[in-house]
A and B are shown apart, each in its own frame.
Chain A
C-alpha cells in the first residue's frame, strides 16, 4: 500500500469511529504517589534539576494557591475535584533522552502512529517540527538543528529551565502571574513540563512549530507550561493539538500559556483540542481549565489566537491579549463544538492599553444534543487606549432543540475615541438546507459536516492548511450522532 492509501485508510478509520483514542500505552513510568504538599512541589523541582529560583517560585505559588477558593462559575456544573487524589508527576522511564528516533521506545512511536501522527512521516512533511510531549516529559524533538541555525530556541520547558534560566526567570509569570487565578496558581506550583520558544530579533521562524500533547497516565493531572517570546521584528506560528485516551474518571488539565511579543513581532498560536469528552451520559472526560494570555508588549506587535475546541467534558478557557504597545493588534478566532453533555465556556479578553490598538474577535459556537456552549468575552478600552478599535462577531449554530448557546459579551470603555462593533447571530441548521444537500446526493451526516464547516469558514481559514483538514475531520467526527 502506498503512503497515500495508508493515509486515506487512516482518515477513513478515523471518521468511522466515535472516539478511537481510548487506549493506554503500556510503558513503565515513574509516578509520584497522589497528593499535594510542599514536599511534592519540592520533589518535582528536584527531579527536574531545576534552578533554585524556580523552586522558590513554585513554592510561592503553592502557598498562595492553598489560600484560594476554587472558583464557581454559573454556567458550568462541575463535580468537586479532589486535588489530593491526583498524582502530580509522571514520566516515561528512559535513561537520558533519546538522541534520535531510533532510540525512542517503540511503544511510544506506536502511540503516535495510532494518533495519526507518525513522527518520521511528520518530520518529512516540509516545514513542520514536532516537539511531542508524552505525558509530562518531552520525548522527542525534531528539526532542532534547522531551528538552531536560525537561532530559534524550541525545547521542552524543563530543558529551558536548565539551559536558559535567565530567559525563563525574566519572562515566566510576567503575563500570567502566580496569583492570576486558582488554576494558574496550581499550575505554577506543580507544572510538569511544556514548551519554550524563543525567536531572536529579526528572525522569521523558518517553519510551523507544533506540539502534540497527550495525557497517558491514569489519574495524572496534566499541568503544561508554555512560554513563547518573540523578540523585535520576529515572527512565529505555533500549533498545539491533542487527543487523550478514554478514561472513566474525570481528568484535570490546567495549562498555562504565556506569549510575549516585542516591537513589530507577531505570534500566531493555533490549537486543535480533541480530548476525550466523556460518553453520551457525560461519564468520564477531561476537565480543561486553561489560562492563555498574550502580551503585545511592543509597538506594532500582533498576537492571534486560533482555537478549535471539540473535546473535553468541560472547557474553561479565555485566550486573551493585553494590547500594551501602541498600534498593537490582538485577534481571537474560535470554534467551539459541543455535543451530548459537554460544557464549554470560552471566549477572550482584549485589554486595550496602548493607543491605536486593534482587536478582532470571531467566535463560532456549535451546540448539539444537550450540550451547553457559552461565549464569554470582555473588551476593555482603557483611558490611554485612544482611537482603539474592536470588532466582535459571535455566531451560534444550534443542532436540534435541546442544546444551549449563550453569549456574554462585556464591554468597558474609558475613553471617547474608541470604536467598538459587535455582531451576533444564532441560527439552526435548517431542514431545507439538509434536504438541498441530500437532493444533491450527500448523506445527512456529510451534509451536517459541510454546513458546519461553512459556518466556521472564517476560523478554519486561519489555520495552516494541513491542520484545517484535520480540524474539519474533527468537527465531523464530533458531530456523529448529533441528529436523530
Chain B
C-alpha cells in the first residue's frame, strides 16, 4: 500500500472567502473514501482544488499526489498523471463528439507518457466494451460531449470517461445524484470495476444508498471546509437516519 494523496492543513479561497479550512486527509492505494457533508460545506471546492481549477486558490497547506506537490503541476499534467474528476455538473461541448473528445484525451495522456497514439481500432474496441458496461448506446458516442444528455446520462458518461482514461485517483463529485436505481447500479459497477490495489477513489455523496454498492473503507463528514468526523459505513447509515445536526451542533 502506497500513499496516493495526502492533504495537509489545507486552506482554499474562492474569491475573498475561505471555503476549505484546515483540511487533512490521507488516501492510500486500494482505498475508497467517501465524503459526506451539508450543501455548501466545500466538498466540490476541495475536488476542484485538487484538480487545479484556477478560481480555487490554495492559501496555505499542501496537496501531495504520488510524491508530487500538486501546486507545481498544471491542470492537464495532474490529469495525465492520473487524477480524474467526475464533475457534479458535467459541462456540454456542442458539436464535439464524445468519441473525438475521448480520443483526444487518451492520446494527450499517451503523448505525455511518451507513447504512440492509440490505433483507431484498439480505441474503438475498448470504447465499445466500456460504453456497453455503462449502458451507453453507441449513438450517444457520436453526439456532442454531454450535449442534450439527461442528468443520469451525463453521470454515466463521466464514469465512462473514467474507465477509458484509467486514472490512479478518481474523485467522483456526487456522481450518484439524480440517478434512478438502475443507473445507480450501473455507476456503482463502473466504480467497482475501477477499484484495484493500485487505484484509489474519493467519493463525494449525499446518500448512503450508493455506499451500499460501493463499500467505502472510510466515511468522512465534511463541515465548514474540514473533516469533523471519520468512521466506516456505519457512520453513513447514522447520517442517513439522523442528519448532520448531532455532529455540527452537538
Contacts and interface: CB of A to CB of B under 8 A. Distances in A.
Contacts, number: 74
A456 B76 contact: no
Q: For chain A, which range describes its interface: under 10, 10 to 19, 20 to 34, or 35 or more residues?
A: 20 to 34
B161 interface: yes
Contacts of A454: 93-97, 144-145
Contacts of B134: none
B156 interface: no
B53 A451 contact: no
Contacts of A387: none
A455 B94 contact: yes
Contact of B161 (A438, A440, A443, A446): A440
A441 interface: yes
Contacts of B95: 453-458
A54 interface: no
A440 B157 CA distance: 13
A456 B145 CA distance: 14
B91 A433 contact: yes
Contacts of A456: 95
Contacts of B94: 454-455
B66 to A, nearest CB: 16
Interface in B100-142: 100-101, 104-105, 108-109, 112
Interface stretch (B79-87, B186-194, B208-216, B223-231): B79-87
Interface residues of B, number: 30
B38 interface: no
Nearest to A449: B104
A441 B109 contact: yes
Contacts of B53: 435
A77 interface: no
A150 interface: no
Nearest to B161: A440
Main secondary structure of the interface of A (DSSP, over half): helix
Contacts of A26: none
Contacts of B87: 436, 439
A438 B96 contact: no
Contacts of A455: 94-95
B51 interface: yes
A442 B101 CA distance: 9
B165 interface: yes
A440 B105 contact: yes
A435 B104 contact: no
A450 B100 contact: yes
A471 to B, nearest CB: 14
Nearest to B77: A441
Nearest to B86: A439
Given A438-B79, A446-B104, A453-B95, 15 more contacts: A433-B93, A436-B87, A438-B74, A439-B75, A439-B85, A439-B87, A440-B108, A441-B108, A442-B104, A446-B108, A450-B101, A451-B96, A454-B96, A454-B144, A457-B95
Interface of B: 51-54, 74-76, 79-80, 84-85, 87, 90-91, 93-97, 100-101, 104-105, 108-109, 112, 144-145, 161, 165
